[in-house]
A and B are shown apart, each in its own frame.
Chain A
Amino acid sequence: MNKARELRAHRRGILHDEKLTERLMITPAIIALAVISIFPLLYMLYISMFDYSMSVNNPTFVGFQNWARVLKSKTFWACWKRTGYIAGIGISVQMVLGIAVALLIYRLPKGQNVILTLFMLPVFVAPIVAGLLGRFLLNSTYGFYSWILSTFFGYSEELFANPTGAVIGIVAIDVWEWTPLVTMIVLAGLQSMDLEVLEAASIDGASYLAKLRYVIFPLASRTILVALLIRSMDILRYVDTITIITEGGPADATRTSGYYLMQTAFRFQNFGQAAVMGIIMIAVISVLGKLFIRLMGRGVM
């Protein structure tokens, strides 16, 4: 009886030691996470209670006034609405194009890697450089693309001079830069598919469209969701190109929530309200991320 008790105690001791070791092992990661995420978040919560509008050095405590102001602000919600449709259009185009190109490359008998590497080049360009390229190439005074539009299509205005054109231009630059990433992720999913299933479908006489619908998409659904998750979270923070080219205009057409947040923080130096906007953005992105992860867990598609 005593022996059994001793044995249990011994086992508990080992388990206790193992748990302790595990905890010690993850301690550095927790500290790093605290330093880079949790403390800044807590600090943001703290500064969201202060008003910096009159002086950066001597902010005044205002409680939840910043929260009330931001949540009541028409401009803030208008920026989120705009972000929604810019993100919606951008992601839709990127996903359709990215999957289509991945399927094309997947069917190539040779040279897949070379083609993919060339196609991936825009991803290696810094977003700020992509913005500058867009600005210069579409400049109505000396831009090459503007010259093509004007010479061959009779469109002599600058694309970014009207709201619709500006949205199209901003989305097009994002599509140009990030569609290859979607292609790469989806292609990785296609290449990891079990070929026997595809062969079986072919033997059964399935058409290419049927194979797409019943075999390829279901098998690649998780990687497609990963691409969708990455791009969705990223496009909500789309700021660089907007800053370089349109600065939110014309007529607020490209003033997204990310750009408005940046303006509030750095141009207006209103760090209290910017903190509120930042926390809301984190919350939105987290909810979106959680949603996609749950969909992946259910094996949707």
Chain B
Amino acid sequence: MEKQRYERPVIKKLETGMPNKFGLRSEYVPITHIEGNSVKELLSTYGSPLFVISERTLRQTMEKARTAFTTRYPKVQFAWSYKTNYLNAVCSVFHQEGSWAEVVSGFEYDKAVALGVDPKKIIFNGPDKSQEDLKKSIGNDSLIHIDHLDEFYTIVNISDKLKKKPRVAIRVNMDTGVYPMWDRFGFNYENGQAWDAISKIMHSKKMELVGLHCHIGTFMLAPSAYAIAAGKLADLAHAIQQKFNHEIKYIDLGGGFASRNTLKGAYLPGIDSSPSFDDFAEAVTTALINGPFKTEKLPLLILETGRALVDEAGFLLGTVISNKRSSTGRRITILDAGVNILFTSFWYDHKITPAQPFTHYTEETIVYGPLCMNIDVIRENASLPLLNKGDHVVIHHVGAYNMTQWMQFITLRPQVIMIDMNDKPHIIRDKETLGNINAVEHIPEHVKTLPR
């Protein structure tokens, strides 16, 4: 007779009427396959842990976002936010889908150019653009979003030398009714800094002011904040038209749309509480359409959405290293995927689903990563099915920021694969090796010899 599948024996005290901070059981079915590929086989082929990107989800999410905005507003352009996930394969999918590139450093700029993006369709944001970065981007006629006056004066200087008239926008920060107000990027709207910067640009005649930009925050749960931002930028554009008889070509509302992850401390799961693309689109486009523009003069609406486009397409597969108990008797499960590769576990309660069949019994569990560091906590409280050593898990919604903010710390970074539209996996980033790390290090001659 074949032996039955093992599940460790558990006993759970029944308490009625007690609030449960661990939340209710959320896993009902195992995720044994990701788009036709067995999790077990993927891990056996590519090693554990493993990042998986679904090309199908990337394209479908992009389509949802595009439809939400283009059905409500005639001129919409997405620009892929490189810092959210700049793996070349991921950027290429978004560029194939028609996105421009939105970069915030010389490194990201060069990455976009190397991928074949038309430099005229690269938006250069960020407070740190070096002389070399600016020379290059002005020479290439890229769109430069000015963050501060020091940058403005540098651009004036370079444009004189290159005898070019760069296309620029200014970054505007403002009160949109949300807390905290992001005021570190660009020029403030309410205190007049933004208008001052606009006037300086217009009077300099050294550059062409083509757009107005803002980035009001991150993981925004209030579409109304975008409506306020769009309204304020529209008013600025109108004032520029009135005073300088100059037409602003685009309004760029930056990024920050919330994904469907669950923020730590949130009462409801993100899948139920995060606004949809339609919610954001309705707020933004209504504000613009009701603004001061004539129909034929509506500015292009640019969106630099990153997180909400890529989060759901990313999975992190891992393996249970051990189960143990804490000093207070709480269940501890240790995975081979830690905060060094899952940076977003500092912000989110990531959903974790077993990759093999399980029963309806659960234990209140702390999920730790493999690092010899106290901070390595993937979930502080999770009501998880009973996992055995060697079992596999799927961690959901990890596409944004993890594959850019990950650290080579204690362990090497794992392989990343993309599953294509025909369910075929492709390696898009190799697992790091000791050779990669040592290749950029140098040991001075006098410390090379070790005592015997």
Q: Do A and B come from one complex?
A: no
B residues near A (Cβ < 8 Å) are: none
A residues near B (Cβ < 8 Å) are: none
